[in-house]
Amino acid sequence: MISVAQPLMRTAKKRKLVRNNPETPVILAGVFLCALPIDKLGRLGSYRAMTDPNPKQEFVHGIRDQLPLQLGVIPFGMVFGVLGMASGLTEWQTILMSSIIFGGASQVVFAQLWMAGAAPVIVGSSVTVLNLRHVLYSVTIAKYLCNLSLGWRIILGYLLTDEAFAVSIKRFEQNPVPRHAHYHLLGSGLTLWTFWQISTAVGVWLGTTLPAHLNLDVAIPLTFIAIVAPILRKMPQILAAAASGLVAVFGQSLPWNIWIIAAALAGIVTGAIVERGQDPS
C-alpha cells in the first residue's frame, strides 16, 4: 500500500499542505492509513500457523486485525457526533443512534437529511436503502454461521459492518474453515463497536468546538479506501471495483440514494463475469 501513500504525499508537498498547515495531522493520518498493510497485520505471531486456534485466540486476533482500521473510524465517529448535534438531535439521541443503527455512512446521511428538514419517510427510506448493502454481507457470510445458535447469529448480525466484514471474511474463507472463526468476527465487531461509541461520544462532547479546518470528514473515504485497496490483487477484483466506482460516481443523481445498491450490483456482476471468463473449465 506504499504505492497508494506516495502519490498522496507528493500531492501534499506540491500544494504545500504538509508544512505550516493546520490540516497536516489529518493528511498524514490519511497517508499512514493508506500505507498500512492491513491485509498482513493479522499474521503477527503464530496465529496464521495454527491449524485450529481456540476461541480465545480467534477473539484476540479478531481484535488485532481490526485495530489498524480504527485510525479512520475514530475521526469518522467524531464527525458524526458533531454532525448529529448540528442537525438538532440531542446528545443522547446522537449517542443512541450509534448504538442502535450502528451504521456509520447511514447515520451521516440521516443527520444530513434531518438537518435539511426532509420528511421522515424520506429519511427512513434513504437510510434503509443505504443499509441494504448489509444484506449482501449477510448472504456472503451466512453459510459459515448456519450451524450456530440463533443467539449467536443475532449478535454477529448486529456486529456485521463494512469493516468487520472486510476483516473477518478472509478468516472464514480459509480452507479448511477454522472451527471457531465466528469468535474472530466477534472480536472484530466488538472492537469496531467500542471505538465507534467512544468516538461518537467524543464528537458530541466537543460539539462545535472542533475547528472546521481540521476536515475530519476526510477520514470517511479514507476508511473505505483502506478496506478495499489491499484486496485488489486480481483482475476480477480490480474490474469489479472499477465498475462499482464508475456507477457510484455517475449515479449520484439517482433518487433515494439507490446509486449505492446499483454500484454494489455492478461490481458483483462485473467481477462474476470476469472470473467466469478466466475459469478454464
The answer, yes or no, to whether residue 26 has pLDDT greater than 50, is no
Q: What is the pLDDT of residue 9?
A: 43
Q: What is the pLDDT of residue 183?
A: 94
For the stretch 64-74, pLDDT in tens is 999 988 888 88
Cα–Cα distance measured from residue 258 to residue 260, given in angstroms and rounded to the nearest whole number: 5
User: Grid cell 438537518 — which residue?
Assistant: 115
Of 226 and 98, the structure prediction assigns the larger pLDDT to: 98
What predicted TM-score, i.e. pTM, was given to this entire model? Answer: 0.66
Q: pLDDT exceeding 70 applies to what percent of the chain?
A: 73
Q: pLDDT exceeding 90 applies to what percent of the chain?
A: 25
Cα dihedral value 211, 212, 213, 216, nearest 10: 100
3-class DSSP assignment, residue 49: coil
Alpha helices in 42-115 (DSSP H): 55-66, 70-86, 91-100, 104-115
Cα–Cα distance measured from residue 27 to residue 164, given in angstroms and rounded to the nearest whole number: 25
Q: What is the pLDDT of residue 275?
A: 84
Which three cell numbers, joined as nine digits, stand for 146? Answer: 448456519
Q: How far is residue 75 from each of residues 17, 69, 95, measured CA to CA in Å? A: 19, 11, 15
Angle subtended at Cα 165 by Cα 50 and Cα 95, rounded to the nearest 5 degrees? 125
Q: Are 236 and 275 in contact (CB under 8 A)?
A: yes
Of 125 and 99, the structure prediction assigns the larger pLDDT to: 99
User: Grid cell 449467536 — which residue?
Assistant: 152
Verify cis geometry, omega within 30 degrees of 0, for the bond prior to 37.
Answer: no
Q: What is the pLDDT of residue 7?
A: 44
For the stretch 93-122, pLDDT in tens is 999 999 988 888 788 888 877 887 777 887
Predicted confidence band at 198 (pLDDT cuts at 50, 70, 90)? very high
The answer, yes or no, to whether residue 16 has pLDDT greater than 60, is no
Query: 259-278 and 235-250 are packed helices; what angle lies between their axes, rounded to 10 degrees?
Result: 160
Q: Where are the beta strands (DSSP E) in 153-198?
A: none
Cα–Cα distance measured from residue 258 to residue 105, given in angstroms and rounded to the nearest whole number: 14
Predicted confidence band at 131 (pLDDT cuts at 50, 70, 90)? confident
The answer, yes or no, to whether residue 43 has pLDDT greater than 60, is no
Q: What is the mean pLDDT of the chain?
A: 77
User: What phi and psi values does residue 279 have, to the nearest 5 degrees?
Assistant: -75, 115
